[in-house]
């Protein structure tokens, strides 16, 4: 499959580890130039070094408009375009019933998981995509499709991100396609409390495909959504979860 990513310029938020890093590495393997972000400069630098010279980095918080402006400016100055934006960075600071959620953590979850993807999309649109076209890939979650005892606040930002994906798909068409990925449980730092201590094996067993996700599983989907291979697709969400949504915790 010719992905057409050769020579394209991509910006991946939260690319210093986990799913974002795998997406950045997969884009580079397809010939793209990539800029990754993350709050920690050391993590960004190490990730970029391990991905290779086609991967640049800039440290910043997706939640801070100044950092977003700086990252977009850095990508434009280095690549003269942003063909692909992956809104991947997210947070999950609150566990518990939504009815008891405190406003600081509610606001932070909204800001990082929902407002930031909008702000970064606005900037990519204004600085490059409006003229040159492009593709935006938003990383949502299977949590968007169900209720949760612990992660209701996170999940409703991920559901709203799916609707933002649909809304922007219509507003930015035909030049820019906007799609999303909803991963099931992937063995990354962010999801550690869900899989460590043997919990991951129990969840994997409830998935029809009998394993947790690897960051590469999501990277393959992101390559597809960013590439010409999905050129007649917009506003959609790919569920990549080993079939887990189908059984929802039951052991098939």
Ligand X SMILES: NC(=O)c1ccc[n+]([C@@H]2O[C@H](COP(=O)([O-])OP(=O)(O)OC[C@H]3O[C@@H](n4cnc5c(N)ncnc54)[C@H](OP(=O)(O)O)[C@@H]3O)[C@@H](O)[C@H]2O)c1
CA-CA distances (angstroms) from residue 19 to 8, 36, 105, 159, 244?
20, 12, 23, 19, 18
Q: How far apart are CA 119 and CA 72, in angstroms?
A: 11
148 sits near ligand X (criterion: CB under 6 A): no
CB of 43 to ligand X, least distance (A): 5
CB of 134 to ligand X, least distance (A): 20
Nearer to ligand X, 48 or 81 (CB): 48
Q: Which of 139, 160, 203, 204 binds ligand X (CB under 6 A)?
A: 139
165 sits near ligand X (criterion: CB under 6 A): no
By the 8 A CB rule, do 173 and 156 touch?
no
Q: How far apart are CA 128 and CA 124, in angstroms?
A: 6
16 sits near ligand X (criterion: CB under 6 A): yes
DSSP 179: E
Nearer to ligand X, 105 or 132 (CB): 105
18 sits near ligand X (criterion: CB under 6 A): yes
Q: How far apart are CA 211 and CA 197, in angstroms?
A: 16
Tokens of 154: 């996170």
Q: Which of 112, 137, 239, 240 binds ligand X (CB under 6 A)?
A: 112
19-38 binders of ligand X (CB under 6 A): 19-20, 37-38
> Strands 84-87 and 9-12, how do they pair?
parallel
Active site annotation includes 154:
yes
Active site members: 154
* Binding footprint of ligand X on the chain (CB under 6 A): 13-20, 37-40, 43, 61-63, 88-91, 112, 139, 141, 183, 185-186, 188-191
């Amino acid at each position: 499959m010719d992905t057409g990513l050769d020579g394209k310029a991509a910006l991946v938020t939260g690319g210093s580890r986990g799913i974002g890093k795998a997406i950045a590495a997969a884009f580079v393997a397809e010939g793209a130039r990539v800029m990754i972000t993350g709050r920690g400069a050391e993590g960004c630098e190490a990730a970029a070094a391990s991905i290779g010279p086609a991967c640049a980095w800039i440290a910043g918080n997706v939640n801070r408009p100044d950092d977003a402006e700086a990252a977009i400016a850095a990508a434009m100055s280095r690549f003269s375009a942003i063909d692909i934006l992956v809104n991947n960075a997210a947070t999950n600071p609150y566990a518990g019933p939504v009815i008891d959620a405190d406003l600081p953590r509610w606001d932070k979850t909204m800001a990082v998981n929902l407002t930031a993807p909008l702000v970064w999309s606005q900037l990519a649109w204004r600085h490059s995509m409006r003229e040159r076209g492009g593709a935006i890939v938003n990383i949502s979650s299977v949590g968007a499709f169900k209720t949760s005892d612990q992660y209701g606040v996170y999940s409703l930002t991920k559901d709203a991100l799916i609707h933002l994906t649909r809304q922007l798909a219509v507003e930015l068409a035909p030049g820019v396609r906007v799609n999303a990925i909803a991963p099931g449980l992937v063995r990354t730092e962010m999801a550690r409390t869900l899989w460590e201590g043997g919990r991951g094996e129990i969840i994997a067993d409830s998935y029809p495909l009998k394993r947790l996700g690897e960051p590469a599983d999501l990277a393959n989907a992101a390559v597809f959504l960013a590439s010409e291979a999905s050129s007649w697709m917009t506003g959609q969400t790919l569920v990549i979860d080993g079939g887990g949504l189908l059984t929802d915790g039951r052991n098939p």
